Amino acid sequence: MNQRQRIILAGLLAVMLAPLAGCSSIGWLYNVTVPPKKVPAAFELEPNEKVLVLVDDLGKPVRYEQIKRLLTENINRLLLEKKAAEKVVSYADVFRLSAKRKDFNRLGISNVARELGANQVIYVYLDEFSLKDDPTISLWHGKLGVTVRVVNLKGKTVWPVDRPAGHRPEIAKTPQVDDLSPTYGAQVAAELADEMAQNIARLFYEHSVPQGHAP
């Protein structure tokens, strides 16, 4: 059965079963008859080499410093879980180096990698980050946008080769929530970091998406 036949069959069965089954059953039926689409890695990291995930806000410092830690740790975890990398540099090591070296922001990407024993860098630049549209009100609405590129020890961008400035994944957003608690921002930041980490990490390993969805 080809893909077109699967879709037609799913549609017919959904119509026939709609009076008897709930939306969840129809969704299950669709997933069975129309399997997810496999998406290959956009770039495969070099095996057996330590990877540095470097989240940077140079030029546009963010006020919520913890977003760098959350994003780095989530990306590292996914790279290891999905076996896209065998070794990664911890955020704690990056933080210690930045505290030790007063010239950290002038070292350059490749020099930071050498200092930390890494052979390749996933460089993540924070283009946009906010927890609220208006900091004076209680309505939380998180947004996180980044640009990603892979850099080698010579400081050369090896991916994406056609866009030296980097690849921009889909922006991560959280729904609008009215909450007076000043600590609610930590939950918003965690949700943003989790979503964006998945958007970034899956660039480096094969994954599945529903048919009709963007990779």
Q: Are residues 26 and 81 in the same domain?
A: no
Closest of 122, 145, 91 to residue 205, by C-alpha: 122
Q: Are residues 92 and 12 in the same domain?
A: no
Contact present, 45 and 84 (Cβ < 8 Å): yes
Residue 202, domain member (yes or no): yes
Give how many domains the chain has, as a whole number.
Answer: 2
Rounded to whole angstroms, how far apart are CA atoms 184 and 209?
31
Q: Are residues 153 and 95 in the same domain?
A: yes
Q: Which pLDDT score is estimated for 213?
A: 60
Contact present, 169 and 127 (Cβ < 8 Å): no
Residue 214, domain member (yes or no): no
Contact present, 170 and 198 (Cβ < 8 Å): no
Please state, in angstroms and as integers, the Cα–Cα distance from residue 94 to each residue in 104, 116, 141, 170, 199, following that order: 10, 7, 29, 26, 22
Q: Are residues 56 and 22 in the same domain?
A: no
Residue 41, domain member (yes or no): no
Q: Which pLDDT score is estimated for 182?
A: 86
Q: Which pLDDT score is estimated for 60?
A: 86
Angle at 71 between CA 44 and CA 133, to 5 degrees: 125
Q: Which pLDDT score is estimated for 180?
A: 93
Q: Are residues 16 and 88 in the same domain?
A: no
Q: Which pLDDT score is estimated for 97?
A: 97
Q: Which residues of the chain have pLDDT under 50?
A: 13-14, 17, 20, 28
Q: Which pLDDT score is estimated for 2?
A: 54
Q: Provide the residue range defining the domain that includes 76.
A: 50-209
Q: Which pLDDT score is estimated for 207?
A: 82
Q: Which pLDDT score is estimated for 54?
A: 98
Q: Are residues 11 and 63 in the same domain?
A: no
Rounded to whole angstroms, how far apart are CA atoms 141 and 145?
13
Q: Which pLDDT score is estimated for 175?
A: 96
Q: Are residues 68 and 136 in the same domain?
A: yes
